[in-house]
Amino acid sequence: MSRFRFPAALRIAALLIASLLLGGPALADAPNPPRPETPNVVIVFTDDQGYADVGVYGAEGFTTPHLDRLAAEGIRFTDFYAAQAVCTASRAALLTGCYPNRIGMLGALGPRSNIGLSDGETTLAEMLRGAGYATAIYGKWHLGFQDRFLPTRHGFDEFYGIPYSNDMWPLHPERPDAFPDLPLFENQQVVNPAVTPEDQERFTTEFTERAVDFIRRHADQPFFVYLAHPMPHVPLYVSDRFRGASEQGLYGDVIMEIDWSVGEILRTLAELELEERTLVVFTSDNGPWLSYGNHAGSAGPLREGKGTSWDGGHRVPFLARWPGQIPAGAVCREPAMTIDLLPTIAGLADADLPAHPIDGRDIWPLLAGDPEARSPQEAYFFYWSRELQAVRAGPWKLHFPHSYRYLVEDGADGQPGRYAQRKTPLALFDLHNDLGQQVDLSGTYPEVVQRLKTLAEQARQELGDSRTGDSGTGVRPPGRMD
């Protein structure tokens, strides 16, 4: 489904310019691989795991053999993005196929928020349940905690987990007096009103065991499992089995337990002879929360981290495996984003897309490893809250003038460091040759700058921009409690 309804002449012109400036064929020439049999779907979604926090992405001080196996037996994307570099917004995009600005789900909802995912939105779970899938979420939700906003009201048959981030409780490392007790839910019921540190130490294992049990119970029908680990969001907790397992310290221990979790999913699928019928996806909700020092992940060569529109905030590891359908050891260097997963899975599952506009597009040709495939998106747009701060098309990323936070003093052992605000001018980067976004080429390629500005203006008209005053003609409100 099209993201924006551009005039036909503008679309054609953009495709021709893309072919000339971006070095690839026009989108109309992209091949369309045949559709395979309807798959089961497992999405493992971690919290604040950085781009370089997986072995095949350059992790140091810990190992991730099961995640590396996903890459060896499937595909690794080098340029995959979360839709916004913060919890609620990112998760909303994954589950709806929409930019969070389209559906009013921004920032990180707190325990006293009166909004949540609107009843009018269609989630990935609702879409798949309509196609005959059993659906479940284990872990972190963060799209509203009141009854009408819970996962079981939005297409999930089962929910076991927490309603928002694991730091939103009295043991918050920065604001211990700001939050009430953290509840644990089973479907619509609170089964533990006050989660303890000892409870959190069991989270990764317990959520994994729940996911494995669900797969076993639904092995004879299509299923969708959304395993949304609260880790490695601070405060960090790990089970006794993995405490001290890594050279890196507690953060490495936590990632190694997440890697074990992925291994348990793969082992279960093999035992049930479901490997060739199951698409497994692994990614993160945003980049690392750098202020926590040795309790934070790594963005590797990327600039900045969580909470910014630089690539360190948005670009995340992405691995996918489906034996027989996704070629082993494939690497995709085309840009893609979490918004693209819903329409891609809809095509694979023969499910009906939402009736309302969405922003994602089908990236199956990329997942299928077609070497001639190109991103089906003209551009990707990077917001912080309601401000459009950057746009990417092909290798180019244009940052508009904006303020962003940067770290001036490292934190350590779970205590935060100190941020300051910095302003960036208009700047253009060639991400194929400048991964760290250090060399501004806006003066060298004014035609590229102008093209990306034009695309950004169209996005502002559709999705809004607080900096320019555009309200967005395609914006839908979130759900709201009276």
Q: Which residues of 241-274 are buried (b: 16+ CB within 10 A; e: fewer)?
A: ebeebbebebbbbbbbbbbbbbbbbbebbeeeeb
- Look at residue 28 and tell me if it is in a domain: no
* C-alpha pair distances (Å), 434 with each of 190, 311, 397: 48, 11, 11
- Look at residue 54 and tell me if it is in a domain: yes
Average pLDDT, the chain: 93
Residues 359 and 383 in one domain: no
How does pLDDT run across 386-424, given as a tens digit for each residue?
999 999 999 999 999 999 998 889 898 988 899 899 999
Question: 32: pLDDT confidence band, cut at 50, 70 and 90?
Answer: low
| Whether residue 21 has pLDDT greater than 60 | no
- Look at residue 31 and tell me if it is in a domain: no
Catalytic residues: 87, 142
| Whether residue 12 has pLDDT greater than 80 | no
Residues 104 and 210 in one domain: yes
- Look at residue 208 and tell me if it is in a domain: yes
**Among candidates 174, 310, 313, which has minimal Cα distance to 234?**
174
| Whether residue 356 has pLDDT greater than 80 | yes
From 367, 389, 420, give the residue that closes a domain.
367
| Whether residue 285 has pLDDT greater than 50 | yes
CATH number, domain containing residue 83: 3.40.720.10
| Whether residue 23 has pLDDT greater than 90 | no
Question: 7: pLDDT confidence band, cut at 50, 70 and 90?
Answer: very low
| Whether residue 8 has pLDDT greater than 80 | no
- Look at residue 16 and tell me if it is in a domain: no
- Look at residue 427 and tell me if it is in a domain: yes
How does pLDDT run across 428-462, given as a tens digit for each residue?
999 999 999 999 999 999 999 999 999 999 999 99
| Whether residue 31 has pLDDT greater than 90 | no
Residues 105 and 210 in one domain: yes
How does pLDDT run across 63-100, given as a tens digit for each residue?
999 999 999 999 999 999 999 999 999 999 999 999 99
**Predicted local distance difference test score (pLDDT) of residue 35:** 60
Residues 84 and 221 in one domain: yes
Q: Please answer whether residues 111 and 167 qualify as being in contact, where contact means their C-beta atoms are separated by less than 8 angstroms.
A: no
Residues 396 and 352 in one domain: no
**Predicted local distance difference test score (pLDDT) of residue 15:** 37
Question: 168: pLDDT confidence band, cut at 50, 70 and 90?
Answer: very high
| Whether residue 372 has pLDDT greater than 60 | yes
How does pLDDT run across 257-268, given as a tens digit for each residue?
999 999 999 999
**Predicted local distance difference test score (pLDDT) of residue 406:** 87
Q: How many folded domains does the chain comprise?
A: 2
DSSP string covering 399-463: EPSEEEEEEEE--BTTB--EEEEEEE-SEEEETTT-TT-----TTT-HHHHHHHHHHHHHHHHHH
% of the chain beyond a pLDDT of 90: 88
Q: Which residues is 280 bridged to in the sheet?
A: 42, 321
In sequence order, which ranges of 218-318 are alpha helices (DSSP H)? 250-271, 311-314
Residues 341 and 405 in one domain: no
Residues 98 and 155 in one domain: yes
How does pLDDT run across 102-161, given as a tens digit for each residue?
999 999 999 999 999 999 999 999 999 999 999 999 999 999 999 999 999 999 999 999
Average pLDDT over residues 238-257: 98
Question: 482: pLDDT confidence band, cut at 50, 70 and 90?
Answer: confident
Using CA atoms, how far apart are residues 215 and 223, in angstroms rounded to an integer? 7
**Predicted local distance difference test score (pLDDT) of residue 33:** 59
| Whether residue 288 has pLDDT greater than 70 | yes
Using CA atoms, how far apart are residues 462 and 456, in angstroms rounded to an integer? 10
Average pLDDT over residues 356-374: 97
From 325, 343, 367, give the residue that closes a domain.
367
| Whether residue 17 has pLDDT greater than 70 | no
pTM of this structure: 0.92
Residues 399 and 349 in one domain: no
Range of the domain at 440: 379-480
Average pLDDT over residues 227-245: 98
Q: Regarding predicted confidence, which is higher, 12 or 301? A: 301
Question: 25: pLDDT confidence band, cut at 50, 70 and 90?
Answer: very low
**Predicted local distance difference test score (pLDDT) of residue 34:** 61
- Look at residue 195 and tell me if it is in a domain: yes
Residues 423 and 305 in one domain: no
Residues 107 and 226 in one domain: yes
Lowest mean pLDDT among 48-57, 161-170, 404-413: 404-413
**What type of residue is 49?**
Q
Average pLDDT over residues 169-187: 93
From 367, 397, 422, give the residue that closes a domain.
367
Residues 79 and 119 in one domain: yes
- Look at residue 10 and tell me if it is in a domain: no
| Whether residue 24 has pLDDT greater than 80 | no
CATH number, domain containing residue 410: 3.30.1120
**Predicted local distance difference test score (pLDDT) of residue 173:** 86
Question: 177: pLDDT confidence band, cut at 50, 70 and 90?
Answer: confident
Residues 260 and 399 in one domain: no
